[in-house]
Amino acid sequence: MPPELIIAQEKKNFYQTRIAWIVLFFIAAVFLFYAVSFAPPKTFPSDFIIAIHSGDTISETATQFKKAGLVRSEFYFKLLAHFFGGSTGVIAGKYYFNEPLSIFSVINRVLTGAYEIKTQKVLIPEGFTAKDIASKILLVFHDFDSELFLRLAKEKEGYLFPDTYFWRPDILPTQALSDMQKNFHKKIAPLAQTIAAFGKSEKEIIIMASLIEKEARQMETRRIVAGILWKRLALGMPLQVDAVFPYINGKNTFQLTTEDLKVDHPYNTYTRKGLPPGPISNPGLDAILAAITPTVSPYLYYLSDKNGNMHYARTFPEHVANKERYLR
């Protein structure tokens, strides 16, 4: 190859290499600029709700979103929001964020009112106390005011129906309580005539159902236990139900001591006769049905072993024998 062609080829290669490096540098600069200014922050929150109030400006929203970790730059938020939003501005409301979004996606949502607050499933099991319910909702919705819920639920124990609920992440304690109480009244409405015919007040039945919910698992055993407990009440016997102690001191049947049974407390069914002053849990429909359709049996005593099997006795000596056989 002639020298002049070699030189020309070398120059061409030099300029091609230089252009390639310039292009690579430009691409890298663009990516770096995007990462620094437009990419989701590392602190982008999950399961997060933020409110834009009526009258909030783009500038105020930019400051709020930067503090919340939703965008990296207030400046570019304001610049892009003004560019894409013009005179419209941001739309007021509560916005739900659960995964990292670029500044473009965040701005698009607040300019179009894409709140994306969807309902989520919350399963409240039968026999949960108000405290259990508050903890379960807080586990699903991290911003839920569980302390306010407990204060408001103080007089509603027993009437918060256990069920599957679909709530938005911004659910308020008042609304959650209202939904559960309305569900309670809806579910027991078909039982109104049976409850009236049974001859006990609704409160007495719900208290009994709350005990049964904790004392037995199957419908058959629940009805037998219901019959035994109603019989004890009629005879003027103490109910002697261990299920009250988690409500009193947090201990279950197998943790109780003789001293625990002697501690006087309004809910201690060993030291006080009659039903406890209120429900110890929020019973499901089966427990409520068992309370008003008890099985008449010759038994006066029962116990549940560590496997959940129920054992009955007609007399106290038989009951003591069952304790020695199944609980030792």
Reported as half-sphere exposure (CB side, CA atoms, 13 A), residue 135 has a value of: 6
26 has a pLDDT exceeding 50: no
Q: What 3-state class would DSSP assign to 314?
A: coil
Instruction: Round to whole Å and give the CA distance between 7 and 17.
Output: 15
In DSSP terms, 304 is beta-bridged to 310
In DSSP terms, 84 is beta-bridged to none
| Helix boundaries (H) for 251-284 | 258-262
Summarised one tens digit per residue, pLDDT across range 166-189 is: 998 889 999 999 999 999 999 999
pLDDT mean over 142-155: 93
- Are 138 and 144 contacting, i.e. CB atoms less than 8 angstroms apart? yes
| Helix boundaries (H) for 38-73 | 58-67
pLDDT score at 9: 56
pLDDT tier, 13 (very low <50, low <70, confident <90, very high otherwise): low
pLDDT score at 15: 53
125 has a pLDDT exceeding 80: yes
- Are 162 and 128 contacting, i.e. CB atoms less than 8 angstroms apart? yes
pLDDT score at 3: 63
Dihedral over Cα of 23, 29, 31, 34: its sign: negative
Mean pLDDT for the chain overall: 86
Instruction: Round to whole Å and give the CA distance between 274 and 278.
Output: 11
98 has a pLDDT exceeding 60: yes
- Are 130 and 156 contacting, i.e. CB atoms less than 8 angstroms apart? yes
Token pair listed for 197: 């015919």
Give percent of the chain above pLDDT 90: 54
Summarised one tens digit per residue, pLDDT across range 184-220 is: 999 999 999 999 999 999 999 999 999 999 999 899 9
Which is more confident, 253 or 181?
181
Which is more confident, 43 or 146?
146
Q: Global pTM?
A: 0.74
Summarised one tens digit per residue, pLDDT across range 52-93 is: 999 899 999 999 999 989 998 898 899 888 888 766 789 999
pLDDT score at 5: 58
- 225, 229, 231, 237 alpha-carbon torsion, rounded to 10°: 140
Token pair listed for 12: 């061409």
pLDDT score at 29: 37
